[in-house]
Amino acid sequence: MFSFFRRKKKQETPAPEEAQIQETAVKAESEVAQIVENIKEDAESLTESVKGRVESAVETVSGAVEQVKETVAEMPSEAEEAAEKAAEQVEAAKEAVAETVSGAVEQVKEAVAAMPSEAVEKAAECVESAKEAVVETVSKAVEQVQETVAAMPSEAGEAAEKAAEQVEAAKEAVAETVSEAVEQVQEAVAEAVATTEEHKLSWAARLKQGLTKSRDKMAKSLAGVFGGGQIDEDLYEELETVLITGDMGMEATEYLMKDVRNRVSLKGLKDGNELRGALKDALYDLIKPLEKPLVLPETKEPFVIMLAGINGAGKTTSIGKLAKYFQAQGKSVLLAAGDTFRAAAREQLQAWGERNNVTVISQTTGDSAAVCFDAVQAAKARGIDIVLADTAGRLPTQLHLMEEIKKVKRVLQKAMPDAPHEIIVVLDANIGQNAVNQVKAFDDALGLTGLIVTKLDGTAKGGILAALASDRPIPVRYIGVGEGIDDLRPFDARAFIDALLD
């Protein structure tokens, strides 16, 4: 009995399946676009595969039970009762092991459905728990069978000895099989953690690289300030000049200077090279309120995001990148080609739709509001999670166009009373202080709930976020620091400051 463990341990242990699931979860973190979508599409086949492995293991253990029963048939009648008891104990162990393995697999599958970074840790816990449970269950069953065999009448002789050998072999095989399976999964989990950390570092590196121009300009200007001289009024004046020329604006600069002076006084700082930490902390306190990631509610209705901005800010490109970002979270997305004025705007959005395998609602003629209305209706009918509504670019001074974008908002509210749920203006970081004026104008017209700041990699004006935080502190949902599809990410105040000043 249990001799099957040595022969088939590699084929029948479910742990490699768990390892495969872990590997999939990791790839979902580093290659967000394809892997998470694959997990969603292949959920049914994955479930069948796992069920097949568990059923196979149960069937094989049943074979071991039959071996015990055959041994019973060869024993003297007085040994039959004891041997039947042994068979029942093995049967109970079989069911307990199958249930334990199935439960562990289900936990791992649930972890995969969660955020990939959580899945890595969860899977490790599930596998370790399964290992302990399986070993404990089988060891207990083995001990019970050994006791039963030892209690058999001596007449059973050779048959009892044979049963004892099979039980001992089973115990060793089970321990070896489970240990090997767990090691495989733990290796996969370790690789997953490493890959996840590498991905996080790669984003930090891209952020730092993207802010090179702003950082170089700031570093060159601050070299004299942080050069080690005595902290005095001349040094403060020099720092103030650097902040103003760094596009932080007068209001933000005044706030930062006051904050830095207070920190210097409280900490008793004397040398200029100690100012860097004080400036970083002051800047963090200023822009931290902008760090409010967009949280999608759990609802059956579509979440409608309306995007506005001037031509050339990167609005349509940001929509395409957002579609990919939301898909990575397992959300279904629909795009509304509401920019019906700019030449080739519809074709550009359709290209993003094809690239992301996302439906685009558009019209060859018609106004922006009608397109957005149709998109929301289509999303409701199809059970889509998120609608990204593009609108025509316009300058805040173009009053007739600003009235038109107000109309888009009103029409969206007719399509769904609480829509749009998020109104975002897309800003080109290259325009510096003009960004503040744009935000004020669009906010007054639409009531903005968030910002996307793009092209931070192409400007030396990274200080614009400080100006926004001071003049109109609307949450910065995402920032763009490159042309890659993964270069649009949620705003992280600390990471931004480190990349700007370190």
Q: Which residues are annotated as a binding site?
A: 309-316, 390-394, 454-457
Q: Is 261 exposed, middle or buried (0-12, 13-18, 19+ CB in 10 A)?
A: middle
Q: Which residues are annotated as a binding site for GTP?
A: 309-316, 390-394, 454-457
Is residue 451 within 8 Å of 476, Cβ to Cβ? yes
- Structure letter (DSSP) for residue 290: G
Distances in Å between the Cα of 349 and the Cα atoms of 393, 422, 499 are: 14, 20, 32
Residues sharing a CB contact under 8 Å with residue 151, sequence separation 6 or more, in sequence order: 82
> Residue 76: left if φ>0, alpha if ψ -120 to 50, beta else—which one?
beta
Distances in Å between the Cα of 199 and the Cα atoms of 101, 212, 377, 486 are: 32, 20, 38, 11
- Structure letter (DSSP) for residue 421: S
Evaluated on CA atoms 280, 281, 287, 290, the torsion sign reads: positive
User: CA-CA distance, 177 to 234, in Å (whole number)?
Assistant: 73
Residues sharing a CB contact under 8 Å with residue 200, sequence separation 6 or more, in sequence order: none
